Every structure is written in C-alpha cells, then in structure tokens.
Structure 1
Amino acid sequence: MKIWLLLLCFLFSGVQAAEVDQFTGINHLKDSSAVIEAEVNRRIQLAIDKANSHYPQPQQKKKLHHRIRPQCDVERLYGQLQAQLAQSLVGQVEIFAEESPQVDKRRVTFQQSVYRDFERLDAPSLVMSERVAAVIRVNHVYLGTDKLGHFFTEGNTYFEITDRMSRGVEAGLLYGEWSESLYFGAQTTGVYSYADLVANFNGLRFWNRILATHADPLKGEYQAPYIACSNKRWVFNERFSFDDYVDYGWDESINCSAMRTEKLLQQFKQYQPQCDGGKVPRRYGDYSRRIINRDDFKVLPYDLQPEIIVSRRSYVHEWNLPGWVAETIHEIRLDLEIWREGSPD
C-alpha cells in the first residue's frame, strides 16, 4: 500500500491541481472581464495568423520559388488555437490572470485558507504545492483563476473527447467527473468542485463555437462562429466575450463543492464557509444534476466515486473492460483511505 501512495503522490505532485478559497477575506474587486477578453482575442488573432502562414518548406524543395500557403486548414487552425489557449496543467489565460497587474485579484495563502488543516496524505497535491488560486471578478461573478484553465484547457479536452461535438456531450461530462474524482480533485486536493465542471462545460461550448459546425449544446441552436473561412483564409468573424459563459455556477461559494471524506468536510467547515446555493443558475436544464450542487457542502456521493464513473465511461466509449476492473478500483480506493487514516503523516 505504501508503494501505491508513493506512486500516487508522485503523480499528483506533478499535476499540481489547484483549489480556490472564495470564503476568506472577501473584498470588492474590479471587473477584469475586458482585460482578460482582450488577451483572449489577441491570442485568437495570433492563432489565426499562424494558421494562415505558409507551411514550412521541406528541405528537399529549397529550389522552389514559392511556398505553399494553407487554404483554411482546420487541423492547423485547431493546433494553433490549442497552442495559444489550451496549455496543459496551467493554462496561458490562467497564468495571465494570475500575473497581470491589470487584473484586480485577491490572494489567500494556503496557510490562511479554509484548507489549512488538510494533511499531506489526504490532499497530496494541494498540501505539497500549497497552490491556492487567486480570486478575480468577471462581470458580476467572483471566481478562481483556475477556472480559466478549466474553461480553455479542459473545455478543449471535452471537445476532443466528444470528437469535436460529433458524438454529443456525454463522453465529455464523464471525463470531467472522472478527472474531478481523481487527479484534478477528490484524490489530489480532497475537493470535488462542481464549479470546475461548469467551467469545463462552458469551455466545450467555447471550442464548439470556434467554427460552430454543431449546435450549441446548451441552447440547441447554431451560433455565429468566432472564426470563418473567407477567400481560402481564416478570418476573425466574431469577438470573444465571457457574457454567454460565466455565471454563478463558476463561484464555489454558490455552486459548492463536495469533500472526499467526512474528515475533510469537518476540517473545511470549521472555518465557517457559507454556501449561498440559492443563487445557482437555472439555465443548465438536464445538465444541472451533473454540474450543479443545489445542496450545502457535502461528502462526495458514492455515484461519483472512480469505480462507478469508470463503468459508465466504459459503456459510452465501448471499452470492453473486464468486470473486475471497477471492483479493483473500489478496493484500492478503500484500502488507500484506510491506510491514510492509520498512517502517521
């Protein structure tokens, strides 16, 4: 069991999943939406320019007098957009919001946060990295900078997992639940964040709207694409804005999180965080049960444990997993909790 924990801690410390404290030292913040939107639109334009640029000239064709220019190459466009917006682990826009002096923010250290009593074995990546995201304001919503990473990077993962929306959204939702129950949440930081899932889902909507080849999964209608093909060149067709994406579902003091265990829940609640669940958005319809928590802070439900989610993912992805896989994951999870409780930190 120690070997399992060492492997998990090594993996988790590399992931460095962050949490946000939206309960400590709350002050008024200036709206940073215009600043961040300008950075996003700058990056989209840069991706368009790179996608329209000449292909690299092969070494053996140096004698050619011209280089081939792409003609609305979809794969090249998505590749350039991913390079500008969907960096792994910590996204570019998240880093921009954390570092830009133009973005008004409130910082709380790990030692000041509501997570300060979490122990290394219970929340390895959070305690080892002490990484607590800053809080910013986008329009009327207060949210963690980590949500920008979820929106652009995890939203892109949803987009690719759903074969760019050609297969619907279920595979993306299941991936989000899986990652939040494991390496981006419950097993790494001790926290299962519904607000992360809202940001992920809206990120899927953003990536779907790049070329808008499928209807918006929330509204069920086609929208004007951000980028269009005109005269065999990509052009910026519609400027990006957070208006249609950010709502109170991104705020962890409204769309409140679940803790992996009762112990973590009590350590968290002793600092008296308040959950204002009455403000959670109503617009998500059938998706609400997957990404919105209308209850108070709670222990992670059994149906969101990894062994349950992997079985559901197996069905959607048509994986032919042996029956013992889910049972083994269940046993490992329970053994790990027992080891955590019985081992000195």
Structure 2
Amino acid sequence: MAFFLVFLFSWSVFAGEPDNFSARRDKNAVVANAEINRVVNSILAMALDNYNYSSKSCDRKRFLKYLEDDLDRNLPQITKALYFNVPQAGPKHHSEVPYAAGRPYTQLYFSQSAKVQVKGQTFFVGFDKIDHFFSHGSMYWDMVGQDAKLPADKVKKALEVGVMQENATWGLQRPGVKSYADLMANYKGLYFWRDLFDGAPPFIVCKNGKFEKNREFDLANYFEPVMDETINCSSFADQEIHDRITAVTKKWNLNCPVDANACATAKKNHGDKSAFLLHPLCLGTGSSQIEKASPMTTKDVIDTAQAAMSGGGDYLLFKLFGEKKKKGAQ
C-alpha cells in the first residue's frame, strides 16, 4: 500500500503533560513504531530530493535549511504529519480527557500519544515528545557546537538550559508543569542530530557531489521508556494541578512511576546526567511532585542559551518558538 504523508498547515498541537495516563488505559491502542519511522524517513527523503534537485555539492548547512520547518523548530511540521499518519493511543480530543476541566488541561494543552515498543518494553510517547526530540534536540546539538564528540562540558550546559526552560515559561510558570520526559526527549534528540551526518553509520553521506540516504531512521535506537510521563513523572507548580490529575489516575490504579525497573535502568544508563533527566520519584531521591517555578524570564533563558550557541537572537527565537519566518534555502 502506498504511503501518503499528509500535512495540514493550519492545524497545531500543544503540549499536554500527563496524557500518557489516559493513553495507557486504551485497550485498543496499537504499536506505532512502523508509522512513526515511516513519517520520519519520508521527511528525510523529501528533504534529500529537494536539496539534490537544486544543489550541485554537499553543503551540510544548506541541507539543514531543507529540514528547518519539518524538524528543526518548535512545533515543526512533523507534529502535524504524525497526527494524520500515526495511530493514536488514548483520547483523540481534549474533551475526552477526564482532567481537562482543571487548569492547565484545557483544549490548549492536550496532546495525543502513541504506543511504542523498544527492546521488549511497551510505553507511551506524546506527540509533543517527538516535537521535543527533534526541535529541542537540534538546539542541544547547536549548543555543543555541532561537535560529534559531544564534549561533556557543553552537553552539561545544554542540559542545564533545558532544565531552565522547564523551570520557567516552558513549564512551571506556564502551564504549571515541569516535564522530565520533555527533558529526556530533548537529550535523546541530540543524538539524532549528531548521527545525521556523523553517526556510526550516519543517516546521510556525500557521494559524487550528492547527498544520499545511508540508513533508515528507527526510533528503537533513540526512544526509551523514560520519555513516558507515567514512568518519568512530572512535577507541578501547585497542589491544585497535582490533585486534579492524581484524583483521576489513582482511580485507574496508575501511580507514577508505573515502572520502577525502567527508572532504575535509565538511572544506570545515564549516570551523572540522570539528575538533569529523571524526576526525583524516578531517581529514588524524593517523593514530592510539587516544585517552585523559577523567577527567570524567557529572555533570561534565551540569553543563557544564546551564549552557548551561534546564530543570534532571531535564530534562537525561531528554534524555541517558530517565530522567525523561514527565508528558504539559499
């Protein structure tokens, strides 16, 4: 059967942090690995075709312009492609979410989820996590200077900026949720962008003056259970938000983390980076899901990130908000 990659350019998805709980109760959910992989590989193939049609040499920076709207910004086009091409787990609309009436889970903050399987483990990943994987992963890649060796000090700075985002206007300030699963998705996305040209093997290679696809994307090489918010718990800015959610999830006998073994594995695998990536409940270092929002402004976070990356303020705003209009590949 032919695969049609469908986009709807007037539609947008917003983050809704605890929706994996609802997805986990969907007895009809099907594993979506193949469909997610197909979407990503189709986007890469289209970017290669468009680039090679108009280019006569292998220019990495120029090629990345062809991925800018599709993968490399906040709310990229891939989010819309996922919505129309990937089977969803759990509620399909914000009105179906039991805690939707409580702040901040209104229509604005609902996000669809997909059921995935990796190394025999089944878990649920919000479409917004795939957004984070690509767009914020790209920002991390820029913050390490696009250095394939991933210098430890620069990776640490990128992780710190990610935490700043979640503590401020991307999380605890508004909508009032700090998503550790977002932080893990950001970090795992760093490796995708490293592997694009510098992986072992890379996704894309230069042959005879043209870029060629060298291997297929497979989410199993990147996604892991702690990208699921029922495993890598979220924190909340106040008791009201926490209580509205847990009042429902406790009735479902779903208490975070639902898989302590997955937390233990992640803690072992990520070592000292775990403090930036895993919720204290997942780490086993704390029991509270209430955290105080940072007083940092959006400008404070942007200034900190900008100091570690090139491209200027407009470029970073585009990365984080999608606010800079794309000028097209040149």
TM-score by length of 1: 0.70
Name the CA shift for 1:74/1:133 in 2 (closer, same or farther; >3 Å).
Answer: same
Residue 184 of structure 1 deviates from its aligned partner by 2.5
* Unaligned 5+ runs, structure 2: 1-11, 310-330
- 8 Å contact from structure 1 (residues 182, 306) kept in 2: yes
- 8 Å contact from structure 2 (residues 20, 125) kept in 1: yes
Q: Which residue of 1 aligns with 2:37?
A: 37
Q: Deviations over 1:68-96 (max 9, x none)?
A: x43101111111122332343x2222222
d(CA) in 2 for partners of 1:318, 1:245:
25
d(CA) in 1 for partners of 2:219, 2:14:
26
Q: Which residue of 2 aligns with 1:141?
A: 123
Q: Which residue of 2 aligns with 1:130?
A: 108
Structure with higher Rg: it is 1
- The CA RMSD measured in Å over matched residues stands at 3.1
Residues 1:161 and 2:143 aligned together: yes
d(CA) in 1 for partners of 2:125, 2:112:
8
Q: How does 1:206-285 map to 2 (within 5 A)?
A: 206-212=192-198, 223-271=200-248, 272=250, 273-275=254-256, 276-278=258-260, 279-280=262-263, 281=266, 282-285=268-271
d(CA) in 1 for partners of 2:93, 2:70:
29
- What amino acid does structure 2 have at the position aligned with 1:174? E
d(CA) in 1 for partners of 2:288, 2:95:
23
Q: Deviations over 1:59-116 (max 9, x none)?
A: xxxxxxxxxx43101111111122332343x22222222222x524321654553643
Residue 15 of structure 1 deviates from its aligned partner by 10
Q: Residue 82 of structure 1: which of 68, 88, 107 is its match?
A: 68
- 8 Å contact from structure 2 (residues 58, 210) kept in 1: yes
Q: Which residue of 1 aligns with 2:21?
A: 23
Residue 186 of structure 1 deviates from its aligned partner by 1.4
d(CA) in 1 for partners of 2:306, 2:88:
42
- 8 Å contact from structure 1 (residues 151, 199) kept in 2: yes
Q: Deviations over 1:305-326 (max 9, x none)?
A: 3549969x8599489xxxxxxx
- 8 Å contact from structure 2 (residues 116, 123) kept in 1: yes
d(CA) in 1 for partners of 2:155, 2:20:
29
Residue 252 of structure 1 deviates from its aligned partner by 0.5
Q: Deviations over 1:286-329 (max 9, x none)?
A: 11111112417734445x73549969x8599489xxxxxxxxxx
d(CA) in 1 for partners of 2:16, 2:52:
36
Q: Residue 180 of structure 1: which of 158, 166, 174 is its match?
A: 166
Name the CA shift for 1:15/1:136 in 2 (closer, same or farther; >3 Å).
Answer: closer
- What amino acid does structure 1 have at the position aligned with 2:102? F
- What amino acid does structure 2 have at the position aligned with 1:21? D
Residue 250 of structure 1 deviates from its aligned partner by 0.8
Q: Residue 99 of structure 1: which of 84, 87, 91 is its match?
A: 84
- 8 Å contact from structure 2 (residues 79, 131) kept in 1: yes
d(CA) in 2 for partners of 1:142, 1:16:
17
Q: Deviations over 1:209-249 (max 9, x none)?
A: 1111xxxxxxxxx6211111111211111211001111111
Q: Deviations over 1:33-74 (max 9, x none)?
A: 1111111111111111222232xxxxxxxxxxxxxx431011
